[in-house]
C-alpha cells in the first residue's frame, strides 16, 4: 500500500524459532516475532510493531506460511512493508515452493481449541468452535473455515459469496493463494487521493466497478470471499501455531481477526497454566526462601510450578482465612488487599530473575509499577495462579510483566520494574 521498494529474504530457522521478521534497513536491525500481541491497528492491513519499528502488510506472507505449514522462519526485510505483488499470497508461495520446504525433527505445535469463542463488531461476526469429539476414534484435526461474505441487498457489485476451506484436505495453493485483495472503484480512488497504492493500476489489482473488474478479470467466480479466507488464515497464524478448530465468519476483517487471535491466546495461556499445575512443583517454599528474603507474614508465593530459564514463571498463592490481614481487611467481608496481590506478583517476578540472582548475590527490590489493574476480588478459598514474563533484564535492573488469575479469570495485572541490589545492602 505504501509503494516503497523492499527486498525480502527468507532464511531457514531452527526448531521452536517460530516466525520472526527483521527490519534490516534501520540503523540498528529490529526483530519482531510474528505474534498477534505485536499487531498494531491499521486500516485494511495487518501491521507488526516493536517500539518505533513497524512492518506493514504482513497478512499475505503469513497466510502463505500457514497454507504451506511452515513453522520456523526468519524473514529479513529491507524496507517498511512487505511487497504486495498482485494483492494475493502467490508472490510468497511461489518463492517458498521454489526454495523448498524441509521437514524438521520435531512435532508441529498445534493448538486444539477447547472452548467456543465468539467476537462481534458492527454487524460482523467470527466464531471459533472446537471440533466435536468422535465417538469411535480421534476427533477431526486442522482448521476448517466457512466464510459468508454478504454486504447486504444494497451491494450490487459484490453479491453474497460463501466459501469453505479445510487445511487438512483443502488445496491452499490452488484454491486460496491466488485470490487477490479487492476494492470498489470509489475505495481505490480514495486510497489514491491519500497517496496510497499509487504504484498500482487496476490491471495489477482487483478494482471492482459497476460492470465488474476494471481492466481485469476474476480468477475465481467468488474471488473476494476466497481472499477473505486468505487474510483470516494469515491473521490467525499470528497466534504462533496452527489452530485446530472450526471457524465460522460473517464479514470478518483484520480487526475482528485480531480480536479472535487475542482471545485464542488467552485460551492457550489458560491451558498452559493448567498443565503447569498438573506437572507438580518446580520450587517448593524452602527453595523459594533460599532466593527471596521475605518471611512470614510477607512471603506470598507458596510454590513455583513452572520456570522457563529467565523468560517465564508460574507460581501459586493459596489464600486461606488464616491469613493475618483478613483480621482487619475486612472482618465481615474478607478480601485480600490489592497491594498484597501486587506484592505476590512482584515476588514471582523476583524469582523469575532467580537464575541471574542466584549467581550474583543480588536481590530484586521493587522500583516502579505501571499499568496496575485489579480486575476482581480475591477471597478466602481462592488459589491465585500468577504468571511473570520477562520484558527486559540488565545487570542492575529488571522489568517483568505479571498477571494473576483465579479459576482462569484475570484478577490483577501489572508491569513491574526492579533494581537489583547486593544482598547485604538490602
Q: Which pTM does this prediction carry? A: 0.76
pLDDT at 28 over 60: yes
pLDDT over 90 at 57, yes or no: yes
Q: Which tens digit of pLDDT belongs to each residue from 221-266?
A: 999 999 999 999 999 999 999 999 999 999 999 999 999 999 999 9
Task: Spot the catalytic one: 60, 163, 227, 254.
Answer: 254
Q: In which order are the strands placed within the sheet that holds 212-213? A: 182-184, 206-209, 212-213
Model confidence pLDDT, tens digit, residues 177-190: 999 999 888 877 77
Closest CA to 364 of 385, 341, 395, 340: 395
- What percent of the chain stands above pLDDT 90? 65
pLDDT of residue 379: 96
Mean pLDDT for 136-145 is 75
Report residue 426's pLDDT band, with 50, 70 and 90 as the boundaries.
Answer: very low
Task: State yes or no: pLDDT of 137 exceeds 60.
Answer: no
DSSP, collapsed to helix, strand or coil, labels residue 233 as helix
Which one of the listed residues 78, 131, 329, 399 is annotated catalytic? 329
Averaged pLDDT of the chain = 89
For residue 223, the model assigns a pLDDT of: 95
- The reply to whether 329 belongs to the active site is yes
Give the pLDDT score at 260: 97
Q: How far apart are CA 14 and CA 75, in angstroms?
A: 13
Rounded to whole angstroms, how far apart are CA atoms 299 and 285? Answer: 9
163 assigned to active site:
no
DSSP state of 257: H
Please name the residues in contact with 258: beta carbons below 8 A apart, sequence gap of 6 or more. 36, 39, 41, 46, 235
Q: Which of 222, 252, 231, 240 is nearest to 127 (CA)?
A: 252
pLDDT of residue 359: 46
Locate 362 and state its grid cell: 543480588
What integer pLDDT is reported at residue 320 of this predicted model?
95
What pLDDT, on a 0 to 100 scale, did the predictor assign at position 408? 85
Exposure of 415 by Cβ count < 10 A (0-12 exposed, 13-18 middle, 19+ buried)?
A: middle
Per-residue pLDDT of 388-421, as tens digits, reads: 999 888 878 889 999 999 988 999 999 999 988 8
Q: Within 10 A of 269 (CB to CB), how many other CB atoms are there? A: 15
Domains identified in the chain and CATH numbers: 7-99 (3.30.230.20), 110-271 (3.30.1700.10), 285-425 (3.10.129.10)
pLDDT per residue over 201-212, tens digit each? 666 778 898 888
pLDDT on residue 134: 59
SS3 310: coil
Q: Round to whole Å and give the CA distance between 256 and 126.
A: 7
370-384 core/surface letters (b: 16 or more CB in 10 A; e: else): eebebeeebeeebeb
Long-range own/partner contacts, residues 192-200 (CB < 8 A, 24 or more apart) = 196/1, 196/2, 196/3, 197/1, 197/3, 198/3, 199/3, 200/3, 200/84
Above 60 in pLDDT, residue 112? yes
Over residues 70-83, mean pLDDT: 96
Amino acid at each position: 500500500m505504501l509503494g516503497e521498494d523492499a527486498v525480502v529474504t527468507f532464511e531457514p530457522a531452527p526448531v521452536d524459532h517460530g516466525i520472526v521478521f527483521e527490519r534490516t534497513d534501520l540503523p540498528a536491525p529490529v526483530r519482531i516475532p510474528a505474534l498477534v500481541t505485536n499487531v498494531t491497528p491499521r486500516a485494511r492491513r495487518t501491521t507488526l510493531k516493536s517500539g518505533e519499528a513497524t512492518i506493514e502488510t504482513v497478512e499475505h506472507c503469513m497466510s502463505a506460511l500457514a497454507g504451506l505449514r511452515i513453522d520456523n522462519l526468519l524473514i529479513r526485510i529491507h524496507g517498511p512493508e512487505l511487497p504486495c505483488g498482485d494483492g494475493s499470497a502467490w508472490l510468497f508461495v511461489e518463492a517458498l515452493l521454489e526454495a523448498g520446504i524441509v521437514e524438521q525433527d520435531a512435532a508441529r505445535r498445534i493448538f486444539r481449541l477447547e472452548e467456543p469463542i465468539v467476537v462481534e463488531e458492527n454487524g460482523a461476526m467470527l466464531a471459533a468452535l472446537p471440533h466435536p469429539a468422535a465417538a469411535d476414534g480421534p476427533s477431526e484435526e486442522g482448521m476448517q473455515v466457512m466464510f459468508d461474505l454478504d454486504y447486504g441487498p444494497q451491494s450490487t457489485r459484490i453479491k453474497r459469496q460463501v466459501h469453505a476451506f479445510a487445511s487438512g484436505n483443502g488445496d491452499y495453493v490452488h484454491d486460496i493463494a491466488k485470490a487477490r485483495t479487492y476494492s470498489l472503484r470509489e475505495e481505490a480512488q480514495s486510497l489514491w487521493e491519500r497517496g496510497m497504492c499509487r504504484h498500482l493500476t487496476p490491471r495489477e489489482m482487483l478494482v471492482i466497478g459497476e460492470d465488474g473488474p476494471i481492466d481485469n478479470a476474476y480468477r475465481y467466480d467468488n474471488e473476494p470471499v476466497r481472499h477473505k479466507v486468505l487474510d483470516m488464515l494469515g491473521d490467525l497464524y499470528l497466534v504462533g501455531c496452527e489452530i485446530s478448530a472450526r471457524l465460522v465468519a460473517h464479514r470478518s476483517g483484520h480487526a475482528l481477526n485480531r480480536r479472535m487471535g487475542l482471545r485464542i491466546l488467552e485460551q492457550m495461556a489458560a491451558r498452559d497454566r493448567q498443565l503447569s499445575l498438573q506437572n507438580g512443583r518446580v520450587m517448593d517454599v524452602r527453595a523459594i526462601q533460599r532466593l527471596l528474603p521475605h518471611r512470614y507474614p510477607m512471603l506470598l508465593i507458596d510454590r513455583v510450578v513452572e520456570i522457563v530459564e529467565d523468560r517465564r514463571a508460574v507460581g501459586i498463592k493459596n489464600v486461606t482465612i488464616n491469613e493475618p490481614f483478613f483480621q482487619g481487611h475486612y472482618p465481615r467481608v474478607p478480601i485480600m488487599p490489592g497491594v498484597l496481590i501486587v506484592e505476590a506478583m512482584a515476588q514471582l517476578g523476583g524469582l523469575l530473575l532467580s537464575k541471574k540472582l542466584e549467581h550474583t548475590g543480588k536481590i530484586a527490590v521493587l522500583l516502579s509499577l505501571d499499568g496496575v489493574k485489579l480486575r476482581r476480588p480475591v477471597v478466602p478459598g481462592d488459589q491465585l495462579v500468577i504468571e511473570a514474563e520477562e520484558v527486559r533484564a540488565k545487570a542492575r535492573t529488571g522489568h517483568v510483566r505479571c498477571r494473576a488469575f483465579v479459576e482462569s479469570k484475570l484478577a490483577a495485572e501489572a508491569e513491574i520494574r526492579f533494581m537489583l541490589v547486593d544482598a547485604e545492602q538490602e
